[in-house]
Amino acid sequence: MENAAERLKHLLHAVPEQFGRMSEAEVSERPMPDKWSPKEALGHLCDSAVNNLPRFIKIQYEKQPYVLVPYDQDQWVALQDYQNTPAEEILNLWSGLNNWILKAIEKIPAEKLSFPCVTVHQETKSLQWLIDDYVEHMEYHLNRQILKNNV
């Protein structure tokens, strides 16, 4: 748990600093017409936080194994119109959500980290795996689409 929490703490410090230095034009530029801009990718990470926070909580008390319900990532990004939202608003949302997630995961008792969940691919994984996967997913998007390997 400490590893995921420590990595998330690092991101909560590094991302606002680095993303905040980028111009609105830079964060709005799509690499290709069908690819997300850095703003949209950060918005996607907000959507991921919105969907994963309840999972982190519910796995601890609902019937086991907890079954993860998928969501349409492209629809979430499009319908929330991150492309036309000021970058500062998206960054503030991302920071707030992930500070709350950090608080939540730091309070999970060690014995609950092994509680099972079933992924969208019908694999049984642990709550610890889901937390680690959440942070890895964030690092992937930050390094590939948003901050270009600067975190």
Q: Is the pLDDT of residue 15 over 60?
A: yes
Averaged pLDDT score across all residues of the chain:
95
Q: Is 151 helix (H, G, I), strand (E, B) or coil?
A: coil
Q: CA dihedral defined by 120, 124, 130, 132, rounded to 10 degrees? A: -120
Residue 151 domain-assigned (yes or no): no
Model confidence, pTM = 0.94
Stretch 7-18: mean pLDDT: 96
Angle between helices 127-141 and 87-106 (to 10 degrees): 160
Give the domain CATH number at 81: 1.20.120.450
Q: Is the pLDDT of residue 138 over 90?
A: yes
Cα separations in angstroms, 32 against 28, 29, 68, 145: 12, 9, 31, 12
Residue 142 domain-assigned (yes or no): yes
User: 73-118, pLDDT tens digit by residue?
Assistant: 999 999 999 999 999 999 999 999 999 999 999 999 999 999 999 9
Stretch 107-132: mean pLDDT: 97
Range of the domain at 116: 2-146
Residue 81 burial (C-beta neighbours within 10 Å; 0-12, 13-18, 19+): exposed
